[in-house]
Amino acid sequence: MGFFKRLFGICETTPPTNADGWSFSGGKIEIQLDRVLELANKGGAIRLEGKGTPEKVLVLHGQDGNFHAFKNRCTHAGRRIDPFGANEQIRCCSISKSTFDYTGKLLSGPAKGSLTSFRVEREDAKLTVYLEQT
């Protein structure tokens, strides 16, 4: 990510191309994996906002093969977050580059603590993200 993107907090992760591939109801997000192709491969990620969700959420298909979900807000300056390379990490979209592991634990940078993570369950082609903190 370039300097100016970091300066302005512009992340690489985008909303899913197929906006109908996910929904929010009853405190949980349901994602149809056969309709949200950004999550088909390891390293893929989407950001989810709107549709009544109380939080902005980053969902990623980790390099570890698992799906992970986080409140899309760095604990340093409130910027969005992105998956970072092939090393099972997440990084803040700012110049400070606070870095976290897949549990949300702070690894480096000026962030004030861990990321808020959400429980994720997969059943066949459906991914469910529960928006209570884990």
Q: In this prediction, what percent of the chain has a pLDDT beyond 90?
A: 66
d(CA 67, CA 89): 13
Counting runs of H as helices and runs of E as strands, what totals does the chain give?
A: 1, 11
Q: What is the CATH number of the domain that holds 66?
A: 2.102.10.10
Average pLDDT of 28-45? 96
35 vs 87, more confident = 35
Domain hosting residue 121, numbered range: 3-133
Q: How many domains are contained in the chain?
A: 1
* pLDDT computed for residue 9 by the predictor: 62
Q: What's the confidence (pLDDT) of residue 5?
A: 61
Predicted local distance difference test score (pLDDT) of residue 10: 67
What is the distance between the alpha carbons of residues 30 and 15, in angstroms, rounded to a whole number? 14
pTM: 0.89
